[in-house]
Structure 1
Amino acid sequence: MKSKKRILVAPLNWGLGHSTRCIPIINALITHNFEPVIASDGVAIELLKKEFPNLSAFELPSYNITYSKNANGFKTKLLKDSPHLMKTIKREKKIVETLIKDENISGIISDNRFGVRNKTIPSVFITHQLRVLSGNTTWISSKLHQKIILKYNECWVPDHIGMNNLSGKLGHVNGFKAPIKYLGPLTRFKKSDLETRYNLFVLLSGPEPQRTFLEEKLLKELKLFKGNVLFVKGKVEDQQQKEIIDNIELYNFMTSSELEVAINESELILSRSGYTTIMDLAKLEKKAFFIPTPGQFEQEYLAIKFQAEGIAPFCSQDEFNIEALSKTDDYKGFKFEDFELNYKKLFGLF
């Protein structure tokens, strides 16, 4: 019997978004008779190990991307961390080389991990950022990112190609000659018409320390909220923990299937404006309120975009108070544009 081709799937460990949007890709690989092999670090690998306990999983060196406590210091901190980042990418490339030999890897899918590629086998880069926003240095950050993308056989962008897209100017640039394939939004969820159980669902994720800052702020503010609240901290730990504080049901994390049900049962979602969250909310056609991660240009851009389009309002972390949620009455929420992704054709590369 012919053995299955083994494909290395390696998401960046930065919040949970990169790993969660790899879930539909991993499921599709299994359906199309490939054997996915997972590689990452931190909460990203922990989450995928919980979702796919039967798949092989390997630890990659950590990029250790965290935010500075001060939002304005994000770019400076990233520059300071760049020598560490370059060393990590070199180590990552060596580990991948070894994995290809030892684990008989036939292809690579890297979600934003720069060192996960190899010239000897087809290598794919997943990103929604063909343009990387960084304020007055956007042109250079975009050029550097595009230079990395060109080292891969293909670049997969999880978005629609047309005007009704989700990533806006991030995922659509003119004159970039990379072999780009638009996959449509990537999400692990399906929409169901379930009875409303929660008036508000708070869904947190993202790097520290900003995740904790927002958690603490929201728990204080929510004391004034009238209605049922489900609050998921986005902290992937060994055991799921549940706590009830007044009208708030509090979890450290939820599995994909639990989250799918919970979002479908919720009236309004309060979250960061991370791109994976946006793809999920679009699929489930939800109303949302966004609090972009301070200092993260991409999330700020997406929040402004969806507010301008009349889909969802936002405000900054510092300015948020519970009254701000009433703004959502004037916004229409997300609507999903259907698409059919031909995975057989897509995986033809391998």
Structure 2
Amino acid sequence: MGHATRCIPIVNALLDNDFEPIIASDGQALELLKKEFPKLQSFELPSYNITYAKKANSFKLKLIKDSPHLLKTIKKEKKAVAALVGNEVVSGIISDNRFGVRHSNVPSVFITHQLRVLSGSTTWLSSKLHQKIISKFDECWVPDHIGTKNLSGDLGHTESYQSSLKYIGPLSRFKKLDLPIKYNLLVILSGPEPQRTLLEEKLMEELKAYQGNVCFVKGIIEPEKTKTISGNLTVYNFMTSIELEKALNESELVLGRSGYTSIMDYAKLEKKAFFIPTPGQFEQEYLAHKFNKEGIAPCCKQDDFKLHLLSEIDNYSGFRILNFEINYKKLFGLF
């Protein structure tokens, strides 16, 4: 979902620069993009069907077991893209971490903040494999600042790989708005199952004792939006970009995963946050510890979360934005 939402400002920029974007994705990500851009042409790509293990120490093993399916999906992606290029006049392809979404006859861009793919003792191997995939594209856009004051840290900055890189600055679909505070806490859930549901159940139980107003967004994209209110707790199954932008600006604190797209959003809106990384996901664990160490946002393991830990946010600075304007006209010059 994070890969889909961070593409929203790019789609809007393409429209502003007189391009006619075609949206391609699958599952909930595709449904979200179709809700955001109902007038745009869209089609479904083969699904990676990525799910996470229930236990953190099984995360890497599950990815290895799923790798044959991943390779088959990449081949299917290439066929789907070839068919699209054959039927449409396509001047460019922008792929956010879809390995097979490229074409030799069309300028193709890969978006990623992971030049280094953390996988524990096999980080060197997973990084090399990812860099090999990136090299098949004409350009690689890294959504981060190039200097030392950056958001992705070691993930998006490495001296060992510099091929066709463009640091385009953080991507966020949101704007900072001057709105009165409505919620003391905004909870935003996301990510593959079963970990999303496991965290939802844990937080629902913990928040029973919370005294302030809570907005709880489950992150489940369904045909119809639902809203339930129970005491000081307001629960949505999902929100559109406009609704979530408003909720974020109306909230004092944010609680959720430490996914990179969420981090870019919080930086843009200068929010104070508490992170619970997805168990076993090396990237989220790294980012959560990075911002904890830098005194920006506290974090804890999913099993260790207790309501009283939210008070730690007072001792952290929260995110601060580095002003940066993306020159989309120059960026789209490739096409």
**TM-score after normalising by structure 1:** 0.95
Partner of residue 116, structure 2: 131
**Aligned counterpart, 1:52:** 37
Task: Determine which of 73, 80, 97 is the counterpart of 1:88.
Answer: 73
Distance 1:46 1:178 in 2: 34
Q: Say whether 1:325 aligns with 2:310.
A: yes
Counterpart residue identity of residue 308, structure 1: K
Name 1:170's counterpart in structure 2.
155
Amino acid at match of 2:236: Y
Alignment coverage as a number of residue pairs: 335
* Structure 2, gaps ≥5 residues long: none
Aligned match of 1:238: 223
- Residue 25 (structure 2) aligned to one of 36, 40, 44: 40
Structure 2 counterpart SS, 1:261:
helix
Query: What letter matches 1:68 in structure 2?
Result: A
Give, in angstroms, the shift of residue 190 of structure 1: 0.4
Q: Deviations over 1:106-147 (max 9, x none)?
A: 210000000100111100000000000000000000000000
The SS at the match of 2:303 is coil
Matches of 1:311 and 1:177, distance apart in 2:
29
Match of 1:271 in 2: 256
In percent, how many aligned pairs have the same letter? 70
Partner of 2:137: 152
SS class of match (1:119): coil
Q: What amino acid does structure 2 have at the position aligned with 1:339?
A: F
Residue of structure 1 in register with 2:88 after alignment: 103
1:221 maps to which residue? 206
Q: Which piece of structure 1 moves more, 100-109 or 286-295?
A: 100-109
SS in 1 for 2:43: strand
Matches within 5 A, 1:291-302: 291-302=276-287
Deviation at 1:193, TM superposition (A): 1.5
Match of 2:54 in 1: 69
Provide TM-score, normalisation by structure 2.
0.99
Q: Which runs of 5+ in 1 are unaligned?
A: 1-15
Structure 1 distance, partners of 2:259, 2:326, is 22
Query: Aligned partners of 1:104, 1:60: CA distance in 2, in Å?
Result: 18
Aligned to 1:4: none
- Opposite residue 186 of structure 1, the aligned amino acid is L
Q: Deviations over 1:170-205 (max 9, x none)?
A: 000003131000111000000012100000000000
Moved over 3 A (4+): none
**Secondary structure of the structure 1 residue equivalent to 2:93:** strand
How far 1:101 moved relative to its partner? 1.1
